[in-house]
Amino acid sequence: MVVVMSPEATEEDIARVVSRVEGVGGEAFVSRGMSRTIIGLVGDIESFHHLNLRTLGGVADVHRISDPFKLVSRQHHAQRSTVWVGQPGRQVPVGPDSFTLIAGPCAVESPEQTVEAARMAQSAGATILRGGAFKPRTSPYAFQGLGERGLEILASVREATGMPFVTEVVDSRDVELVASHADMLQIGTRHMANFGLLQAVGEAGKPVLLKRGMSATIEEWLMAAEYIAQRGLLDIVLCESGIRTFEPSTRNTLDLSSVPVVQATTHLPIIVDPSHSAGRKDLVVPLASGAIGVGADGIVVDVHPKPELALCDGPQALDGTELRDLAKAVRRLPPVLGRVSAATVTRQG
Amino acid sequence: MVVVMSPEATEEDIARVVSRVEGVGGEAFVSRGMSRTIIGLVGDIESFHHLNLRTLGGVADVHRISDPFKLVSRQHHAQRSTVWVGQPGRQVPVGPDSFTLIAGPCAVESPEQTVEAARMAQSAGATILRGGAFKPRTSPYAFQGLGERGLEILASVREATGMPFVTEVVDSRDVELVASHADMLQIGTRHMANFGLLQAVGEAGKPVLLKRGMSATIEEWLMAAEYIAQRGLLDIVLCESGIRTFEPSTRNTLDLSSVPVVQATTHLPIIVDPSHSAGRKDLVVPLASGAIGVGADGIVVDVHPKPELALCDGPQALDGTELRDLAKAVRRLPPVLGRVSAATVTRQG
Amino acid sequence: MVVVMSPEATEEDIARVVSRVEGVGGEAFVSRGMSRTIIGLVGDIESFHHLNLRTLGGVADVHRISDPFKLVSRQHHAQRSTVWVGQPGRQVPVGPDSFTLIAGPCAVESPEQTVEAARMAQSAGATILRGGAFKPRTSPYAFQGLGERGLEILASVREATGMPFVTEVVDSRDVELVASHADMLQIGTRHMANFGLLQAVGEAGKPVLLKRGMSATIEEWLMAAEYIAQRGLLDIVLCESGIRTFEPSTRNTLDLSSVPVVQATTHLPIIVDPSHSAGRKDLVVPLASGAIGVGADGIVVDVHPKPELALCDGPQALDGTELRDLAKAVRRLPPVLGRVSAATVTRQG
Amino acid sequence: MVVVMSPEATEEDIARVVSRVEGVGGEAFVSRGMSRTIIGLVGDIESFHHLNLRTLGGVADVHRISDPFKLVSRQHHAQRSTVWVGQPGRQVPVGPDSFTLIAGPCAVESPEQTVEAARMAQSAGATILRGGAFKPRTSPYAFQGLGERGLEILASVREATGMPFVTEVVDSRDVELVASHADMLQIGTRHMANFGLLQAVGEAGKPVLLKRGMSATIEEWLMAAEYIAQRGLLDIVLCESGIRTFEPSTRNTLDLSSVPVVQATTHLPIIVDPSHSAGRKDLVVPLASGAIGVGADGIVVDVHPKPELALCDGPQALDGTELRDLAKAVRRLPPVLGRVSAATVTRQG
């Protein structure tokens, strides 16, 4: 940590900072410049936070130097992690060596629609099914999902297809229920900073798919992962799904730069959601190919057998031609970049 | 609603839209331009939403024309509302005729600190105490609040000072507990789109202070209010507390334009939080004066007897001189704009 | 400046940084922490910039500590400046003791429209006329201004009313022409980072009104002022006119926090443009009052005798009732905040 | 165009809109809903703009339906264009069938540095050299480029290597000079809305590389291209180089979604600049691969023989290993997506 003193700071002000830092067992190195003095702090960061140095007289600014997250940091865990999803014996990977396609309907509407979407997904190369049972909707008058009935449908489709499924949990009261059915719990963009929910899924024993909040910095996103990790769970997959900007032609602006930034900073896998970020299906295949190019460990896309009848986000769901184009991209691009399809990987042991 | 057809749309495409709209009991008015056709829809908006018109062949775009919120809209409720906070017989207003100062510590740390902060607030003209018992913190390693013990402290300070209090609730599992102590429930910026929590506070029977999400449009914020209203509660006070932008000199960018926009659109009162938006105390008094100037119905500010010892957000808490400056602004500016201090108002009957 | 070494940095890496810094005459203070080393640099900042320290092995980050602007900084010029506008003997101030209203039509369309708008402005308390002769328009098919003829109209209206005028210059080739007519040159939001134009107006000998670029940080804005100052001109008035965000209900988001931030950082005066930031006239009076509250040194607003016939930005121009409300706010609020109307001030000597 | 009336609009208000529209030769179709009336306008859009409909009584909103640009629109020019750069007989393409690598130093510093960077670029597969002679810098105290001497160096390197070059022009006074040396004129991100400069390059007779303004919407960017096209030049290549957001880990946020959006809307080619958007070289190769994946027609990257000695943007310049990785991506990925390297294409005739 570095404390920058204001030009008017007195010797007394400087001495006060040094004394506080030493009072909690730290060391303070004073560098006197022509117009300002800076003080480098060495020791336990957490104890420095409690000193409220920014409120002291003569202090102009305090810069943090090191990352605030620990368990998810790549600093002490250089090898990138693989997260395995599904029941023992039929687990599929999300990680640095493979490329994973997660696909399914935005919302579970019926057993028929769900199984049909799952078969479409599977034929395009998907290894994990996605589908919403609890839906966070902007309007209280919109379809809110089938709830527990939706989870049961997803479980039956898992039986039929062999695909493990990921589904969103939106309330801490539902975590136990959802975890009893699902293979992976999704934290949606609106709940990335719902810390009680993060702690609850961190204790539920299932892998977590953590979407980036639409106004979250990468650092805040990794701190959300740290909340989960701090409860004992490290099977976390991050999902970039766009940030809010001034550009109106897409729902959100997909920040593909986050993929290499995240991979340099944390050991956790990261995938990309081109469907929800764009909000329009004509962009899904190009953005999926872009995500593969940039080095993502997978993607998650919406598919629906009849998008025009979808109860949720129909305009972004793929079918027919687009799905075939997606399948082609998923099959051809990752090998050029040194990855195998996750569909070809099985866990040993 | 207006459907814009693409230049390549066929007569068949147009007929399909008209037929779908008429199929749910609506009317469709077709306007044929030189390069495009547009179709105006009249009837029940909700039923049109389910048609997924955007997915039909030949449709380029669909524009919504009317506001998506109803209960909180000013359209059918022209008179601006006043929300009364506190126990019967000693309620204080937040509304269009008065100016309300809400103040207190960011986090409740001890009975002494809380009562001292409350007395500071009261002497500056505050009529409602604020204080956090459950704190949403970016880091899992930071102070998370005293929880239930904090609520008890706030209740005892209410006894000592006569001030009703508002406190944040961050998890739907805590709503009942918090509502049993507090006079007003705060939904924080990170939970504005936590729809389960909004529904829970909408049923808890206490007034709600609803902060704007830091990446929420005004329309989304009013839809969050609609979620609460739809559960039967209209005693909602909105609170502008800054939006996320690229400017780094303040924590968030306080969007004071939202005050007149909101007042033109909804009948609900709106206040401003200059402390959390700025994150630095030298800006609090100017921004508070700006909020009064722009016509806000009140403000909420952090005060702390010893900011340098605060366990949360010390750098933005007022004390001493700044608090006296704030008191002066709150006393002198609102009367010039035709408002009385809320401290001088008591509810009749 | 502070250099933060990466955890993997070697002693050799550290020595290389120290040696480079000392090579240009600076001093380097090394602070060794448990996981990282930081190096504080003291000396001439500009010479450090040329070292490209960020490209050296083992360097994780480089933090700048002091402000990059000098001539416009308040650090060595604590007293806030007043800029005087107009011909000797009839100059009007923009500065910390007064409140200045600048008003006029967005675009000069005809002598009649301009003189009528100027009289409206003057009766509302304006001391400086604004009006565009060269208009930067998003579409090449929109009205682009009257050019030199517009400048002549403005000059004749100055004769008729006694008001000095400010007008925008959009191309370095026009600076001489515009400066030969105008009392103050405006740099618009699209040209804040047009450095050649900044340098040209810095040499033209007339005061400058420098609008904030719609995506400029406050620091970048002050660096633009530094470009002008570096050419010898310090008569610069800054103008906040909104930044680009995701919120669609206003054209831009007016960042009123910039007013106290700028006043703490630079000695230059700062005014606010509520008309162009909002883009809608119902918000102009509330935002003008908010600007007064937050401590701005003045405002600039669009007025037009017949907004429905305006060739540019009609929807934001004030007339009739709104203008009377504005006049009332400008007359009543500044005195409460310790300012006199600029209309009552004349320059001595 | 669609005019939305407010709920309180009278019959007279509606009649006034209809009469104005018919007065300029348009047609107005009135659709009366339960709470609102909407009016569809058919006819010449430009003439409607001059009506200022938004200022009329009873008008709540006016929606534009069709794109505001014409010459660059894909609507009447379905086939995507190829722009050829260089002197007759040795022109290289930027367009839909090939993939073009443009590379070179951020700033021209010396003949040696420039020719060395050009050879590096060429060996990585580049067909066009980039290099700055006039540099727009945030600080007036930073290196501003070699000016005309820089152009001469670039011309001599063109002789030595056979590569045509693109260089930025930052002032309308310099257009003639720059166009007399360069093969392609670059409009930088700070000048995208410098309309006088756009018109000047539109008349200079050389192809233009038009970067997206860092706070420009895609529509505004295409309107900037329209400004150039309206002066008679259609040889325009668009360049996505990041937009300003709240995320601090990259200089700007690269908006790769703009690539397919632009390709659907205009016939002009679009390339991507991963160096300037990221500002850090470790992201350049992943982002370049992402740009190829998403379907860009090319990329432009900074290379420098000795990044640690660069006078401008050293931290983002590639050398050694990264450049070899880039060359590999540029060679291997485009063919999978159906494109040939621009290095293998020569213009016929």
Beta carbons within 8 Å of A134's beta carbon, 6+ residues apart: A144, A145, A147, A150, A167, A168, A169, A170, A171, A174, A178
The shortest CB-CB distance from B196 to any of A170, A220, A227 is to A170
Token couple for D317: 């310049």
Residue A180 CA to chain centroid, in angstroms?
22
* Whether A168 and A217 share a structural domain: yes
Enumerate the residues of chain C whose CB falls inside 8 A of the CB of residue D314. 52, 54-55
Q: Is residue A260 scored above 70 in pLDDT?
A: yes
Query: Hey, are the CB atoms on D195 and C139 less than 8 Å from each other?
Result: no
Q: Is residue A218 scored above 80 in pLDDT?
A: yes
> C182 and C207 in contact (C-beta within 8 Å)?
no
The shortest CB-CB distance from B66 to any of D35, D65, D244 is to D35
* Whether D35 and D130 share a structural domain: no
Report the alpha-carbon distance of residue B83 to residue B341 in Å, rounded: 15
Residue of D325, C64, D315 whose CA lies nearest to A61 = C64
Query: Hey, are the CB atoms on B255 and C260 less than 8 Å from each other?
Result: no
> B26 and B42 in contact (C-beta within 8 Å)?
yes
Q: What percent of chain A has pLDDT over 70?
A: 98
* Whether B258 and B169 share a structural domain: yes
- Give the model's pLDDT for residue A197: 96
Q: Is residue B78 part of a domain?
A: no
Question: Confidence class of residue D141 from pLDDT cuts 50, 70 and 90?
Answer: confident
Enumerate the residues of chain D whose CB falls inside 8 A of the CB of residue A258. 247, 249
DSSP D277: H
H or E, element range at B166: strand B165-168
Q: Is residue C68 part of a domain?
A: no
| Helical packing angle, B218-230 and B258-265, nearest 10° | 40
Query: Hey, are the CB atoms on B314 and A52 less than 8 Å from each other?
Result: yes
The shortest CB-CB distance from D336 to any of A258, A291, A336 is to A336
Mean pLDDT rounded to a whole number for chain D = 91
* Bridge partner residues of D130 (DSSP): D166
Report the alpha-carbon distance of residue D61 to residue D7 in Å, rounded: 12
Q: Amino acid identity of A171?
A: D
Q: How far is A268 from chain C (nearest CA, A)?
A: 20
Enumerate the residues of chain A whose CB falls inside 8 A of the CB of residue C34. 42-43
* Whether B271 and B177 share a structural domain: yes
Q: Is residue A74 part of a domain?
A: no
In D, minimum Cα distance to C217 occurs at D244
- Give the model's pLDDT for residue B61: 82
Instruction: For chain A, report the end-to-end CA distance as a whole number of angstroms.
Output: 45
Q: Is residue A257 scored above 50 in pLDDT?
A: yes
Number of domains chain C is built from: 2
Average pLDDT for residues B118-132, to the nearest whole number? 96
pLDDT tens-place string over residues C65-97: 777 888 999 987 889 999 999 998 889 999 999
Token couple for A23: 């009072």
Q: Is residue B348 scored above 60 in pLDDT?
A: no
Question: Confidence class of residue A349 from pLDDT cuts 50, 70 and 90?
Answer: very low
Q: Which residue has the tokens 């906040």?
A: C240
Query: Hey, are the CB atoms on C256 and B333 less than 8 Å from each other?
Result: no
Count other C-beta atoms under 10 Å from residue A166's C-beta. 25
In C, minimum Cα distance to B253 occurs at C255
| Helical packing angle, D218-230 and D258-265, nearest 10° | 40
Question: Confidence class of residue D349 from pLDDT cuts 50, 70 and 90?
Answer: very low
Q: Which of A167-181, A287-301, B166-180, C130-144 has the lowest mean pLDDT?
A: C130-144
Q: Amino acid identity of C139?
A: S
Q: Is residue B5 scored above 90 in pLDDT?
A: no
DSSP string, B193-249: T-HHHHHHHHTS-S-EEEEPPTT--HHHHHHHHHHHHHTT---EEEEE--B--S--S
pLDDT tens-place string over residues B133-145: 998 888 888 888 9
Q: Amino acid identity of D280?
A: R
List of chains touching C (3+ CB pairs within 8 A): A, B, D
Q: Is residue C123 scored above 80 in pLDDT?
A: yes
Query: Hey, are the CB atoms on B36 and D7 less than 8 Å from each other?
Result: no
| Residue count of chain D | 349
Whether the CA torsion B274, B279, B280, B281 is positive or negative: it is positive
Question: Confidence class of residue D345 from pLDDT cuts 50, 70 and 90?
Answer: confident
pLDDT tens-place string over residues B325-342: 999 999 999 999 999 988
* Bridge partner residues of D166 (DSSP): D130, D184
Beta carbons within 8 Å of A27's beta carbon, 6+ residues apart: A21, A41, A42, A43
Query: Hey, are the CB atoms on D195 and C170 less than 8 Å from each other?
Result: yes
Enumerate the residues of chain C whose CB falls inside 8 A of the CB of residue B219. 249
Query: Hey, are the CB atoms on D287 and A294 less than 8 Å from each other?
Result: yes
Q: Is residue A34 scored above 70 in pLDDT?
A: no
Q: Is residue C134 part of a domain?
A: yes
DSSP B172: G
Q: How far is D43 from chain B (nearest CA, A)?
A: 7
* Bridge partner residues of D4 (DSSP): D38, D61
Report the alpha-carbon distance of residue B294 to residue B312 in Å, rounded: 29
- Give the model's pLDDT for residue B349: 46
* Whether B262 and B216 share a structural domain: yes
The shortest CB-CB distance from D194 to any of C54, C194, C311 is to C194
Enumerate the residues of chain D whose CB falls inside 8 A of the CB of residue C55. 307-308, 310, 314-315
* Whether B189 and B225 share a structural domain: yes
Token couple for B186: 């705060």
Range of the domain at D261: 83-344
User: Measured between alpha carbons, how far is residue D334 from residues A330, C7, D97, D99 in Å?
Assistant: 15, 38, 10, 7
In B, minimum Cα distance to C282 occurs at B260
DSSP D294: H
ipTM for this prediction: 0.91
CATH number, residue B279: 3.20.20.70
| Residue count of chain A | 349
The shortest CB-CB distance from A257 to any of D261, D264, D283 is to D283
Q: Is residue C306 scored above 50 in pLDDT?
A: yes
Interface of chain D against chain C, CB under 8 Å?
46, 49-50, 52, 54-56, 68, 136-142, 170-173, 190-191, 193-197, 199, 213-215, 220, 223, 226-227, 230, 244, 307-311, 314-315
Enumerate the residues of chain A whose CB falls inside 8 A of the CB of residue C265. none
* Whether C265 and C148 share a structural domain: yes
Query: Which of B35, B63, B91 marks a domain boundary?
Result: B63
> C168 and C189 in contact (C-beta within 8 Å)?
no
Question: Confidence class of residue D348 from pLDDT cuts 50, 70 and 90?
Answer: low
Report the alpha-carbon distance of residue A344 to residue A161 in Å, rounded: 16
Q: Is residue A155 scored above 80 in pLDDT?
A: yes
> C65 and A4 in contact (C-beta within 8 Å)?
yes
Enumerate the residues of chain A whose CB falls inside 8 A of the CB of residue C9. none
Enumerate the residues of chain C whose CB falls inside 8 A of the CB of residue B218. 247, 249
Count other C-beta atoms under 10 Å from residue A143's C-beta. 15
Return the half-sphere exposure (C-beta side, CA atoms, 13 A cut-off) of residue C266.
29
In C, minimum Cα distance to A78 occurs at C8
List of chains touching D (3+ CB pairs within 8 A): A, B, C
Enumerate the residues of chain B whose CB falls inside 8 A of the CB of residue A223. 138-140
Beta carbons within 8 Å of D2's beta carbon, 6+ residues apart: B2, B38, B40, B63, D38, D39, D40, D41, D62, D63, D65
- Give the model's pLDDT for residue C349: 45
Q: Is residue B169 part of a domain?
A: yes
> B283 and B248 in contact (C-beta within 8 Å)?
no
* Whether B35 and B182 share a structural domain: no
DSSP string, A164-219: -EEEE---GGGHHHHHHH-SEEEEPGGGTT-HHHHHHHHTS-S-EEEEPPTT--HH
pLDDT tens-place string over residues D192-247: 999 999 999 999 999 999 999 999 999 999 999 999 999 999 999 999 999 999 99
Question: Confidence class of residue C32 from pLDDT cuts 50, 70 and 90?
Answer: confident
Instruction: For chain B, report the end-to-end CA distance as a whole number of angstroms.
Output: 45
Angle, alpha carbons C67-C184-C239 (nearest 5°):
45
CATH number, residue D41: 3.30.70.1140
- Give the model's pLDDT for residue C139: 82
Whether the CA torsion B214, B215, B218, B219 is positive or negative: it is negative
Q: Is residue C74 part of a domain?
A: no
Q: Is residue A331 part of a domain?
A: yes
Residue of B170, B196, B165, B197 whose CA lies nearest to B181 = B165
* Whether A163 and A294 share a structural domain: yes
The shortest CB-CB distance from A7 to any of C2, C63, C75 is to C75
User: Long-range contacts made by residues C156-159, C-beta under 8 angstroms, separation at least 24?
Assistant: C156/C111, C156/C115, C157/C111, C157/C114, C157/C115, C157/C118, C157/C129, C157/C131, C158/C129, C158/C183
* Whether D158 and D25 share a structural domain: no
Which among A46, A48, A55 is the top mutation candidate for probing chain B, defined by the most B β-carbons within 10 Å of its own β-carbon?
A55
Report the alpha-carbon distance of residue C59 to residue C7 in Å, rounded: 9
* Whether B231 and B331 share a structural domain: yes
pLDDT tens-place string over residues B220-243: 999 999 999 999 999 999 999 999
Mean pLDDT rounded to a whole number for chain C = 91
Query: Hey, are the CB atoms on B31 and D29 less than 8 Å from each other?
Result: yes
Q: Is residue C71 part of a domain?
A: no
Report the alpha-carbon distance of residue A290 to residue D287 in Å, rounded: 9
Report the alpha-carbon distance of residue B89 to residue C284 in Å, rounded: 40
Report the alpha-carbon distance of residue A229 to residue A237 in Å, rounded: 12
Report the alpha-carbon distance of residue D252 to residue D280 in Å, rounded: 11
Average pLDDT for residues D124-133, to the nearest whole number? 96
Average pLDDT for residues C112-132, to the nearest whole number? 96
3-state secondary structure of D254: coil
Q: Is residue B99 scored above 80 in pLDDT?
A: yes
Query: Hey, are the CB atoms on C32 and A38 less than 8 Å from each other?
Result: no
Enumerate the residues of chain A whose CB falls inside 8 A of the CB of residue C38. 2, 40, 65
* Whether A175 and A105 share a structural domain: yes
Average pLDDT for residues B13-28, to the nearest whole number? 89
Q: How far is B99 from chain A (nearest CA, A)?
A: 30
The shortest CB-CB distance from B220 to any of A138, A309, A314 is to A138
Q: How far is C349 from chain D (nearest CA, A)?
A: 35
Query: Hey, are the CB atoms on C7 and A33 less than 8 Å from each other?
Result: no
The shortest CB-CB distance from C54 to any of D55, D214, D315 is to D315
